Structure formats: structure tokens, C-alpha cells
Structure 1
Amino acid sequence: MAETSIEWTDATWNPVAGCTVLTAGCTNCYAMRMAARLDAMGQKKYKGLTRRSGGRAVWTGKIRLDEKSLTAPHSWSKPRKVFVNSMSDLFHPDVPADFIAKVWFSMKETPRHTYQILTKRPERMAEVLSKPPFEILPNVWLGTSIEDGRVLSRLDDIRRVPAAVRFVSLEPLIGSVAAGDLSGIHWAIVGGESGPRAREMKPEWVDEIESMCRRSGTAFFFKQWGGKNKKAAGRMLNGQTYDEMPQVQNSY
């Protein structure tokens, strides 16, 4: 477990490391840069997960399962919001369903924590979680990442996922998603891309999503404007911050 400065969570937990570039939202993925840095620091978990291409780190497609980390949440006494697999995608096709089940069991055994899982592969999430031994856990929130209108089909896929809370991360937002429908989605996170190669997020795209959230009753969380200096750009939208969270009842 690692404490994190990510605005919508408290900590990260990575029972899987490594991924594969899938769509445009992956192009400047922070996790690729971080994995390369950790590899250079000698952390075996991240060895060989990235390669250099075009002057930057890119996923090789290799996936590494970390069995030893599965019991880590049991040692965290303080209740936390936990972002699961910030350095991977739990529903990558090379992560076996039986390993996902082990992650599920660990989350079930620690109901004091709230787990937040994001995937760019919600179609596999829906397929895997619709079968035994998986069950809806009240402390597990399931979401998908959407960067622009070209991947709006992920909304339909995430709606098929059996979950106590369904959410969407619209970050990096690199295009309008106004054609989408947020019905059945409990929470929307919006953020611009950050880093040296950050792509622009237009204010009207954010306003569109905020309006969509009001129509569907979806909690709206504005994370950041992003850019090369995300701290300077801040996270104010129309003169205020938006830190809305889905309405859930904790089981501890």
C-alpha cells in the first residue's frame, strides 16, 4: 500500500503490474513513466515492463502478478479509499480470472476499506464478474476510463457490470463526450491530462459533463485542469471546486 496525492482516493494497492497501450487515453499514461522509474531504481516488480520508444517509456505488454501483496490490506487498520492497480488494469486479458478472484476475496475480507477499480476493458470486467465466485461487494466501486467520444461504448459495458457503485473516470479528457449517457453511473471524475506532453482539455467539454451529471443524478468530481504545470492550473471550475462523491453506506 502507498499513500497517494490523487484527489479522489487515499492510497494505492497494486497486486498486478504492467499493461498494454489500448486507446488514445493511454498515450501519455503516468504509470508507464512511473514503472520505468521504479525499474531504474531496481524494483524487481517493474523490471522489463516498459521499453523506450519515441523518447519515452511505453508498456511492453508484460503483466506481473504479485501474490505477496494480496494480504496487504489486512494490515491497514485505518479505513481507507483504495485505488486498486494504479500501475495496471486488473481486467487486462492476461490477468487470470482466478487471480482476480483472489483480489476479490481480499477485498471481501477487509470491508473497512473502500476499493476503487478502474479498467479500460469493461467488457471483460462485465464478463468475469457475472460468473461465480464473484458477488457484489458493497465496499467495491467499479469503473471505466473514457477519454473521448470514440470509446463511449465503455459506458454501456460498465452498466452491465454488477456493482454497488459504478463510476467513470474522464481523464485524460481529450475530446467531447456529450453524446454519452450517464444514466446508471453513480460517479464521474473529470480531469485534464498532465505532464510534459499534455493534450488540451477544453472548458466546454467539462461543462457538458457537469450538465450530464445533473440530468442523470451522477456525483461530479472535478479533479484538475492538468497541463504541464497542473498545480498552477488548479482545479477550480466556474469559481468553485467540485468534490462530490457517490452516496453509499459503509459496512464498518
Structure 2
Amino acid sequence: MVEQKSEAEIAAMREAGRVVGRALAACREAAAVGTSLKELDDVAHAVIKDAGATSPFLNYRPRWAPTPFPGVICASVNDAIVHGIPSSYRLSEGDLLSVDCGATLDGWTGDAAISFVVGEPRPGDAELLATTERGLAAGIAAAVDGGRLGDISAAVGDLGRAAGYGIPRDFGGHGIGRTMHEDPFVPNEGRAGRGLQLRVGMAFAIEPMFIAGGVDEYVTGPDGWTLQTVDGSRAAHFEHSVAITEDGPLILTLP
């Protein structure tokens, strides 16, 4: 069942989303050559704690995971697509970093992600980042009352495919609200006009993931969490939590 939230509940989700937005902004500001991924995790943790919120990432363990997740952010570098563990790795010049973060406040949850390059981007990085972010914007624009879930998926996937990028199978967005992962699954590729009919009060985390090398396959790293490209090419990931309102899509995870 896909829950339709009230205006008051959407407002509460927006407060949780603002915490996520602030945590991501703080991580981006702190990310520099020599900064460790664990230090970025500490930065985000401080923002979440200061807001009186908790992390839905910390100790999260889905069925496929070998261990509980040990951080409040996913920090995925270069050929890591998503789910990177915030380790002692220190950022180097030209690293492409994706940071995914969530927060739960007063029983409601927000989830968002950003990608950026530390220092000077390598050839192709700027276009990969811009295209993935445009994919997110296109998916958000399709999240309107009366539309279909496939409209969101098609908007994201068509843009990524037109640019020649790979889209990892089996991973995409999701419903969000009282918990981080709710129904439905929101694929990053699909057919417009198909699927669940969208209604006011529904909320989704929309999150395109594009792979520069153009292949869809991925492998799971030795830590059992990190998804990596099979060809070593770079990947980007952007995400916002979005609510469908009478006035159109409302982004919930801006700082």
C-alpha cells in the first residue's frame, strides 16, 4: 500500500528533509583533498544530532547485507556507484564523490544524495554530473497528481540513455515517509503512462544513478555493501525526497 500523507505530515517530512539538506551541504563544504570519508561521516552525524534527529542509515541491515551499515552517510568514490562505507580513505585531487544521507525527525524521514568532484574534474566528469542531476530534475518534474509512476522512471532513464550512460539494474528510488524505504520501488528506467497512478500526498525518493562507461552491470565490493562498476568507470548519484502536492512536486530535502 502506498500511503498518502496529509499536509501536516508533508510539512513534518520537510523538517526532516531540511536536516538531510544541511548535512549534505556540510559534507560538501568539508570535503577536500586529505579529508577522510569517516571525517565526513562525523560532520553529517553532528548535524543530525544537533537537530535532534536520528540516522536511518546507521545500523541499517537489509536482507542482502552481511553486516549492519556502520555510518550515517554512504560515501561512494569514483567507480563506487552507491552504498560506499565511510572509511579511513582520504580524498585525492580529482576524486568523484557521491554522498547519500538520511535523517528521521519526529517520526518522519528524509533521504537525499549529491555528487561532486574534489578539486579539478577529469574529462567527462562535469557532463556525467550535470546529466545525472538533470535526470533527477526530470524525474521530479514528472511527479504530478494524475500521472503514473512510469512517467518518473521514463523521464530519468530516457535522459541517461540518450547520453550513453549505464543504469544499474535493480537499484533506484522508493517511497518514503515514516520509514526510509516504503512502497513503491521507483525504477530509474521505465515506460511513461504505466504503473501506479500518482496522487496528492504520495512521497518518493527519486535517485538517478548513471554509469559513465555505459554498462548496466555492477559488482558488490568485498565489504558486502559497496556497488562498483564492472569496468572501473565513474558513476554519479543524485537524490531528493519529493512530495506530490496540488501545486506540483515539492522537494523536501533542500537545506
Q: TM-score, normalised by structure 2?
A: 0.25
Q: Which has the higher contact order (CA 8 A, sep 6+)?
A: 2
